[in-house]
Amino acid sequence: MSNIIDAIINIVKNPILELQVFYKAKNRANSMGDALEEYIKDLFASSINLSEVDRNIAISKTFSYLGNQNNPPDSMLRGGDAIEVKKIESPDSGLALNSSYPKAKLFANSPMITVDCKRAEVWQVKDFIYAVGVVKNSSIKSLCFVYGDDYAANADIYERIRLTIKDGLLTIPDVEFADTKELGRVNRVDPLGITYLRIRGMWGIDNPFTVFRYVYTRNHSNKFNFMAIINEEKYNSFDNKNELEQLNALDQNLSITNIQIKNPNNPAQLKNAKLITFQVR
């Protein structure tokens, strides 16, 4: 079963910076966004240099579900975590989450995921990895992996705001509302009854490099910066962490550090975590 440690090891052993050129040459992606998503798949499936046939087999064995922009998450590791890939072009840009609020974890009963996602394997809840790439032209400048429960608050925090707004809309008199997964939909706005109004939430969140600036600062003179933050409990659950630690002893550009991070639900509490960094100078 593949996990985040496998992906980090593959980054260290085979960093690919010119993503769009690399994946366009293999006829796997044209846009930088697509190239980033393909790279994340290859990191977890250990399939970067495989033939197309062998790569498809490796990806099928690694992932139980592959989504798209309209059907999150972007992928689910078979028996493991869910992954959402985000591309930004400015080092300090926020992440546009659109109609979905930030996820600490992914739940099988979520109304925002497809039936195919729910039935991809037997599961109830998955830990959620945000993979955020900072790109410039055809190159990736920075990449980070962070778990949702180290980054975002629990769902009830966001649901309280969403439901308060939705319930408030329903109190508007003389308006015909329709059932919707969005904040609201108003039908028959005009006298002819032919106009409707969709009311959508547009969620966003500061990117992890900004959020965790108190424990890690990028060196912008490097060709590439990588950061992963994994809480101690999750890190200790990985059977292959020793392989990463052995690699750390051999590669001076790789670092594993003990840190403490703020609990997203109560910043007064600190959580023990691992900060894993890698750089290409």
Q: Which domain holds residue 238?
A: 4-280
CA distance 207 to 236: 25
Predicted TM-score (pTM) of the model is 0.93
Number of domains in the chain: 1
Exposure class string for 191-218: b at 16+ Cβ within 10 A, else e: eeeeeeeeeebebebebbbebbeeebeb
Note whether 76 and 82 are within 8 A (CB).
Answer: yes
The pLDDT value given to residue 72:
83
The full length of the chain comes to: 281
The pLDDT value given to residue 9:
98
182-220 residue pLDDT tens: 788 888 888 888 898 888 888 999 999 999 999 999 999
140-182 residue pLDDT tens: 999 999 999 999 999 999 989 888 888 888 888 877 888 787 7
Alpha-carbon torsion (12, 16, 19, 22), positive or negative: negative
CA distance 228 to 230: 6
